[in-house]
Structure 1
């Protein structure tokens, strides 16, 4: 009886440990934005910070589409370092 209880506890602990493991998903390929790009953005996960320069710089947005697939979109944005005076 003790061995049965021990086996049951080992089985439950193995199942609990398997639930805590996260399967590593491959990093998505960086897609480059063009005006012809069709965007399907359901949830924005992160946006890279914009540099403090007065020129156009690359930025990246990580998002999920409506099917739950993760994407990384690279686009161009004006830097934050320009002043009006």
Structure 2
């Protein structure tokens, strides 16, 4: 077997994987919600909020797929989920 050809094929495969992951990250569109923003949500991927036990307004992030299966990220503000002693 020709080891140079095998090494070249492995290098080519690794570079293709890196290129695909870079393209996937580049396709993510991040925007900030404002009143009246049109949302095209097909599937919610994740919901997250700023860390801490804040009972006030906190920053949150919604990651979702739109109707064209593109990943979108929406930053918004919401009431924090705080634990109450009562």
Deviation, 1:70, is 1.3
Structure 1-normalised TM-score?
A: 0.65
Alignment-derived partner of residue 24 in structure 1: 22
List gaps (5 residues or longer) in structure 2.
Answer: none
Instruction: Give the secondary-structure state (helix, strand or coil) at the position aligned to 1:80.
Output: coil
User: What residue in structure 1 maps to residue 38 of structure 2?
Assistant: 38
Distance in 2 (alpha carbons) for counterparts of 1:27 and 1:73: 14
Match of 1:61 in 2: 62
Q: Secondary structure at the match of 1:24?
A: helix
Please report the RMSD computed on the Cα atoms of aligned residues, expressed in angstroms: 3.3
SS at match of 1:44: strand
Give the gaps of 5 or more residues in structure 1: none
More helix by share: 2
Write out the 4+ residue segments of structure 1 that deviate beyond 2 Å after TM superposition. 27-30, 82-85
Structure possessing the higher radius of gyration over alpha carbons:
1
Number of aligned pairs? 80
TM-score by length of 2: 0.65
